[in-house]
């Protein structure tokens, strides 16, 4: 599907903090620091990987910092570093430290598959990272390798433990639920939320190019997930742990954590959308599931000042869509990684 890069020449940006045409305040920027990943999850990308963005086109730390400074000047307060797998980007704690020092930035989170987290959790926390989401689709080592096409379950669990020890709380575990693949582990994942200070979020399997032949058959709705877990107890809605994500949370009395569901297909959350995304090659994506993008890399590399970059953020709000249009079994966007969803 082709991406439409929007020409903003002639559009007049509004003054003040970011808000889109539907009066939704935009205070959350997700930053893909790389498109590369050290796993090859079957629902996300092919065994051989994807056509990677050339290194020369990937934003440098200096360029990311300049864009974030401009974003903070118009009301962005929360950041999330994503990928691909962000921890494969060398020296990521240095970027965290630089972003944490920007006036106005109040929260920096990370979405990771956890393989490298054990070695970096302390350094990331010291640099200013506040929270971590870890993708984990199974608690069985053999199944982990089958889904991810790589071994590593023990390393992911060790990474979660290291994040807890480093104070990167609340820890959120993201599980893509797939019928006939891992949906028999729902109660096992719920037990993690019962026994540990973690929040397990079940994500509906979304249609992307690599999973399209199977997505319709593998799909399990959020309502079905909650009903299956509720059948074994007294699950009830609860307040979430904070953050910027779209999950709805549930727990039973006495649980240390909670489970959540993220439902882009069955119950969209567009009315509360507060986010935009910066791709690894410097394009501002206005909707994760859409294909409208604004080129920020070119003006940054041409020497644009913070006010000019901020004006492109404000102008982009004029064309941010009201909602996405995901449909079961249909590809709706060029989303490259499931790490891009969730908050």
CB burial string 65-104: b at 16+ within 10 A, e below: bbbbbbbbbbbbbbbbbbbbbbbbbeebbebbbbbbebee
Query: What would the two tokens of residue 220 be?
Result: 């399990």
**pLDDT (mean) for 128-155:** 96
Question: Mean pLDDT in the chain?
Answer: 86
CB burial string 152-168: b at 16+ within 10 A, e below: bbebbbbbbebbbebeb
The CATH code of domain 4-170+273-340 reads 3.20.20.70
Confidence check: pLDDT of 116 > 50: yes
Contact 80, 102 (CB under 8 A): no
User: What's the pLDDT at 12?
Assistant: 42
User: What's the pLDDT at 269?
Assistant: 60
The per-residue pLDDT for range 30-49, each reduced to its tens digit, is 999 999 999 998 887 878 87
User: What's the pLDDT at 244?
Assistant: 61
User: What's the pLDDT at 59?
Assistant: 98
**pLDDT (mean) for 308-335:** 70
**pLDDT (mean) for 75-98:** 97
User: What's the pLDDT at 213?
Assistant: 58
Confidence check: pLDDT of 272 > 90: no
Residue showing tokens 């965290």: 96
Name the least confident of 83-97, 101-115, 166-180, 271-285.
271-285
Confidence check: pLDDT of 339 > 60: no
Residue that wins the pLDDT comparison between 319 and 32? 32
Alpha-carbon torsion angle 114, 337, 341, 293, nearest 10: 140
Confidence check: pLDDT of 333 > 70: no
Strands 107-112 and 78-82: parallel
Confidence check: pLDDT of 195 > 80: yes
pTM for the model stands at: 0.87
Query: What would the two tokens of residue 6 be?
Result: 């929007």
CB burial string 283-306: b at 16+ within 10 A, e below: bbbbbbbbbbbbbbbebbeeebee
- d(CA 232, CA 163) in angstroms, rounded, equals 30
- d(CA 72, CA 181) in angstroms, rounded, equals 42
pLDDT tier, 290 (very low <50, low <70, confident <90, very high otherwise): low
């Amino acid at each position: 599907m082709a991406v439409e890069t929007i020409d903003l020449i002639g559009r007049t940006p509004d003054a003040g903090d970011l808000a889109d045409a539907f009066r939704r305040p935009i205070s959350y920027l997700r930053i893909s620091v790389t498109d590369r990943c050290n796993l090859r999850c079957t629902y996300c990308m092919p065994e051989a990987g994807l056509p990677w963005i050339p290194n020369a086109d990937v934003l440098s730390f200096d360029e990311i910092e300049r864009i974030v400074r401009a974003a903070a000047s118009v009301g962005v307060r929360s950041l999330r570093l994503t990928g691909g797998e962000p921890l494969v980007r060398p020296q990521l704690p240095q970027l965290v430290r630089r972003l944490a020092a920007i006036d106005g930035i109040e929260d920096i989170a990370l979405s990771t598959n956890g393989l490298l987290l054990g070695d970096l959790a302390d350094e990331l926390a010291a640099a200013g990272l506040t929270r971590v989401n870890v993708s984990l689709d199974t608690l069985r080592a053999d199944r982990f390798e089958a889904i991810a096409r790589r071994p590593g379950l023990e390393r992911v669990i060790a990474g979660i433990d290291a994040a807890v020890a480093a104070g990167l709380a609340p820890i959120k575990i993201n599980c893509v639920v797939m019928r006939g693949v891992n949906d028999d582990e729902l109660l096992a994942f719920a037990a993690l939320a019962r026994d540990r200070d973690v929040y397990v979020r079940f994500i509906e399997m979304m249609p992307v190019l690599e999973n399209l032949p199977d997505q319709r058959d593998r799909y399990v709705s959020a309502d079905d997930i909650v009903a299956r877990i509720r059948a074994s107890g007294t699950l009830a809605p609860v307040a979430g742990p904070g953050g910027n994500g779209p999950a709805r949370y549930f727990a039973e009395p006495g649980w240390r954590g909670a489970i959540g569901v993220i439902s882009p297909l069955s119950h969209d959350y567009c009315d509360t959308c507060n986010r935009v995304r910066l791709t690894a090659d410097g394009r501002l994506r206005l909707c994760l599931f859409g294909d409208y993008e604004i080129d920020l890399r070119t003006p940054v590399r041409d020497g644009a000042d913070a006010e000019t970059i901020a004006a492109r953020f404000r102008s982009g709000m004029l064309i941010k869509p009201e909602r996405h249009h995901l449909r079961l079994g249909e590809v709706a966007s060029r989303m490259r990684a499931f790490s891009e969803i969730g908050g």
